[in-house]
Amino acid sequence: MSSRRLAHDLERALSGRSEVSADLRHLVETATLLRDVFAAAPRIAADVRAREAAGAAFLEAAIGHDEPSTIRRPRRAHRVLRRALIAAAALVLIPSAALAAAWPAAQRSLPGEPLYLLKLGVERARIALASGEGELGVFLDIADARIREAERAEAAGLFDAFEEALRRYADVVHAFDATIADLGGPPESSAPRAQDVFEHHSVVLTSLLERIPDVAVPGLRAALELAEGHGPPDDVPPSGGFPTDVPGEVGAGADAEDSEGSGSTVPDGSGPPVPTGPPPSASGANSNEGPPEDQGGRMWSPPVRRPALARGILLREGRRDPSSSHSGESGNPARAGNGRSDSPVVSSRSKLSSRCYRCDGPLFGFDGSPRAHRPSPFPSVSVTLSSD
Amino acid sequence: MHEQDKFLDEARAGSQDAFAALYERLRLPVFRYLLSRTGDRDEAEDLLSEVFAAVANGIRSFDGSMDAFVGWVFTIARNDVADARRAKRRQSVQAVPDPPEVERLPDPADAVVDRLDATRVQGALVRLTDDQREVVLMRFVAGRTLAEVATALGRPISAVKSLQHRGLAALRRALEEET
C-alpha cells in the first residue's frame, strides 16, 4: 500500500470514520498515549496570570499603549495621557450590557474564576480614572477586596486562589507605596483611613494564619508583614474602645463589593464593621493606657499589637500567646533581658523601604513617623534562674 | 455563522468578552502543546501568558477564518517555544538551580508513573523530525484539526497527513526501542 494511502487510512481511523485495521492499531494507540500523557491543565494561579496578561494586552491594544499585566506605575510623563486613554477604553470595553449583567457575580469572583478578569478590568479602570489622593483610596479598596477574596478562598478551601489573592494584595500595596512616593509623601488626610484599613487587614490575616495549611503560610506571612508595616505606629496610645467617630472619607471606592456580606468589611463609614478576626481586646492591647488620640478628626480603633505575626505562629504551634509579657513595647523586661536595643537600626536610606536588619520590621509607619523597634517574630528563649 | 467565527469577529472589533471566550476555547490545547514542547510545567505556564498576550496584541490585525486563527495562535506558540529555547541556551552557563517547590515534593504514586510516562515520551519525541513532532503534538496533544495544523505549519493538508503517519510510526519505534 502506498504511503499516501496509509496516511489517508490512518486519518480515517483516527477520526473514527473507519475501523482501525491491525496494521494501524499500534499507531492509533501511540496517538492515544500521546494525548493522555500531556492531558494537563495550567494551575489556577498560572491560568489567572495568563488571563490577566491577555486581558491587559487586549485593553492595551485598544488604545495602542503598553498596559502591564500587574498593577504598576507608568512613568509620570505619560500618566495623564494614559489615564484618559485607558479610562476611555475601559468605559467602552467593560460596561457592555452583557458585562453589566455579569457584574454582581464578577464582584464575588475569586482568582481563577472566569469573571475575575472582569473584576480586575474594572479595578484597573478605577485606578486610571483616579488621581492623587483619590488613587490611594482606590488602592485601599482594591487591597481590601483582595483580603476578602483570601478569606472566602480560605473558607472554601481554595488555596491556589487564596495564595493568588495574597500575591495580588502585595502588588496593590506596592502600587499604593509607589503612589505615595509620587505624591512626595503620605497625605495627612488619607493616613487615618489607610491605617485603619491596614490594621484591619492585619487582624484578618492573623486570624487566617491559624487556619490555613502550612504550604500557604509563607504567602500569608508576607502579606501580614506588609499590612503590619502600613498599620498604625506602635507608639500611638491605644484608645479605650472602638472608634466613636468613623471616618467620613470613604475613598473612591466603597463600591458594591462592600455589600457582598463577606463579614470583613473595613470600617469605612458605610456600615457597621464586622471584623472576622479576633476581637481587639484579645490582641494584648492595654485598653487603659491612655485617652483616645484624635488623628485628623477621628480616633484610632484599638491598634493591633505588633507581634501579631509571632502570636499567630505561636497559636498555630499550640503555644501560649506571649503578648502579655512580650508586647514589643519599649522597656519590656522580657526584651531588656535579651540584650537588644530599642533603637531601630536603619538598614536603608529610603523611608518607604527601610527595614530593621534585626527584626526585619518596618522602621517607619504610613505617616512617616519612626516606629518602635519590634522584637524578632521568633520567640525568644527565657531562662528562669532558681534562687537556690 | 459559526459561533467561534462570531467570537473571532467580535474580538477583532474590540469585545473583551469575545476574546475571553476565545481564550477559554484555546487555553488548554495551547497549554498542552507548550507542556509537551518544553516538558516543564512552570515554563509552559509562563509561555501561556506570553502567547495569549501576543494574540491579544495582534488580533485586531488578524484577517482570516477560525481555522486560520487557531493556526496563527499555534504559530505564535511555536515561535515562543523556540525563543525560550534560544534564551535558555544563552543563560545555561549562569543557570542557578531553582529553590525546591512545594508542588515538587513527593507525588502520589500514580503521578510518579505519569511523570515517568511523560519523560519517556519526551525522550522519544526528540527522535522525530521537527515537522513530524509539530504535527503529532498539535494533532494529538493539542487536538487541532488537519486544517488548523496545516495553517500553523504553512503546509498542505496532504503533507500534514503524511507527516502525521510518519511521525506516529517514528514515535512508536522510538518508544519500543526505549522499553
Written in H, E and C, the secondary structure of A84-102 is HHHHHHHHHHCCCHHHHHH
Judge whether residue B28 has pLDDT over 80.
yes
pLDDT score, position B92: 62
pLDDT score, position A388: 40
Judge whether residue B16 has pLDDT over 90.
no
Put simply, the chain B residues between 104 and 123 with a CB less than 8 A from any chain A CB are: 114, 117-118, 121
Closest partner residue to B172 (CB to CB) among A27, A42, A99 is A27
Cell output for A372: 518602635
d(CA A276, CA A281): 14
Give the gap in angstroms from C-alpha A16 to the nearest C-alpha of chain B. Answer: 14
CA quadruple A8, A13, A17, A18: dihedral positive or negative?
A: positive
Q: Find the closest chain B residue to A37 by CA distance.
A: B118
pLDDT score, position B135: 94
Chain B residues whose beta carbon lies within 8 Å of the beta carbon of residue A32: 140
Mean pLDDT of A55-66: 66
Closest partner residue to A43 (CB to CB) among B45, B143, B171 is B45
Mean pLDDT of A232-259: 39
Mean pLDDT of B156-171: 93
Question: Do B12 and B59 meet the contact criterion of CB atoms below 8 Å apart?
Answer: yes
Mean pLDDT of A234-243: 39
Give the gap in angstroms from C-alpha A362 to the nearest C-alpha of chain B. Answer: 27
The ipTM value here is 0.78
Judge whether residue A194 has pLDDT over 80.
yes
Mean pLDDT of A112-119: 77
> Does the distance separating the beta carbons of A40 and B136 come in below 8 Å?
no
Mean pLDDT of A267-292: 37
Give the gap in angstroms from C-alpha A345 to the nearest C-alpha of chain B. Answer: 30
- Eight-class DSSP state of A235: T
Most confident of the ranges A3-17, A179-193, A291-305, B162-176: B162-176
Higher pLDDT, A126 or B176: B176
Judge whether residue B50 has pLDDT over 50.
yes
Give the gap in angstroms from C-alpha B92 to the nearest C-alpha of chain A. Answer: 24
pLDDT category, A82, cuts 50, 70, 90? low
Judge whether residue A384 has pLDDT over 60.
no
pLDDT score, position A327: 37
Judge whether residue A298 has pLDDT over 60.
no
Judge whether residue B95 has pLDDT over 60.
no
Q: State how far the alpha carbon of A179 is from the alpha carbons of A45, A71, A124, in Å.
A: 26, 11, 15
Mean pLDDT of B131-148: 92
> Does the distance separating the beta carbons of B121 and A37 come in below 8 Å?
yes
SS3 content of chain A, % helix, strand, coil (to 5): 50, 5, 45
Instruction: State which amino acid sits at residue A257.
Output: E
pLDDT score, position B55: 92
Chain B residues whose beta carbon lies within 8 Å of the beta carbon of residue A48: none
pLDDT score, position B47: 92
**Minimum mean pLDDT range among A185-189, B108-112, B155-159:** B108-112
> Does the distance separating the beta carbons of A8 and B161 come in below 8 Å?
yes
Contact with chain A for residue B62, Cβ under 8 A: no
Judge whether residue A240 has pLDDT over 90.
no
Residue B121 C-alpha from the chain's centroid:
15
Contact with chain A for residue B171, Cβ under 8 A: yes
pLDDT score, position A80: 53
Q: For all residues of chain B together, what is the average pLDDT?
A: 83
Residue with cell 483516527: A14
Cell output for B114: 505519569
- Among B23, B49, B117, which would you mutate to test the A interface (most chain A Cβ atoms within 10 Å of its Cβ)? B49
Cell output for A81: 495621557
d(CA A174, CA A72): 8
Mean pLDDT of A263-286: 38
Mean pLDDT of A274-302: 36
pLDDT score, position A288: 39
Give the gap in angstroms from C-alpha B15 to the nearest C-alpha of chain A. Answer: 6
Give the gap in angstroms from C-alpha B144 to the nearest C-alpha of chain A. Answer: 12
d(CA B72, CA B59): 10
Closest partner residue to B140 (CB to CB) among A35, A92, A96 is A35
pLDDT category, B134, cuts 50, 70, 90? very high
> Does the distance separating the beta carbons of B146 and A69 come in below 8 Å?
no
Chains A, B: CB contacts under 8 A, how many? 142
Q: For all residues of chain A together, what is the average pLDDT?
A: 61
Helix (H) or strand (E) holding A119: helix A116-129
Judge whether residue A250 has pLDDT over 50.
no
Contact with chain B for residue A24, Cβ under 8 A: no
Question: Do B18 and A117 meet the contact criterion of CB atoms below 8 Å apart?
Answer: no
Chain A residues whose beta carbon lies within 8 Å of the beta carbon of residue B118: 37-38
pLDDT score, position B176: 87
pLDDT category, A96, cuts 50, 70, 90? very low
Judge whether residue B101 has pLDDT over 60.
no
Where are any strands of DSSP class E within A152-196?
none
pLDDT category, B40, cuts 50, 70, 90? confident
Contact with chain B for residue A297, Cβ under 8 A: no
Cα angle A228, A233, A235; round to 5: 135
Q: What percent of chain A has pLDDT over 90?
A: 4
Higher pLDDT, B108 or A145: A145
**Minimum mean pLDDT range among A96-100, A176-180, A366-370, B171-175:** A366-370
Closest CA to A119 of A253, A318, A263, A277: A253
Chain B residues whose beta carbon lies within 8 Å of the beta carbon of residue A34: 36, 121, 136-137, 140-141, 171
Mean pLDDT of A259-279: 39
Judge whether residue A106 has pLDDT over 50.
yes
pLDDT score, position B90: 74
Judge whether residue A104 has pLDDT over 50.
yes
Q: Read off φ and ψ for residue A362, nearest 5 degrees.
A: -65, 145
Q: What percent of chain A has pLDDT over 70?
A: 47
pLDDT score, position B136: 93
Mean pLDDT of A69-91: 49
Contact with chain A for residue B28, Cβ under 8 A: yes
Strands A294-295 and A298-299: antiparallel
pLDDT score, position A233: 61
pLDDT score, position B3: 67
Contact with chain B for residue A215, Cβ under 8 A: yes
pLDDT category, A235, cuts 50, 70, 90? very low
pLDDT category, A334, cuts 50, 70, 90? very low
Judge whether residue A174 has pLDDT over 60.
yes
Contact with chain A for residue B168, Cβ under 8 A: yes
d(CA A375, CA A327): 9
> Does the distance separating the beta carbons of A61 and B59 come in below 8 Å?
yes
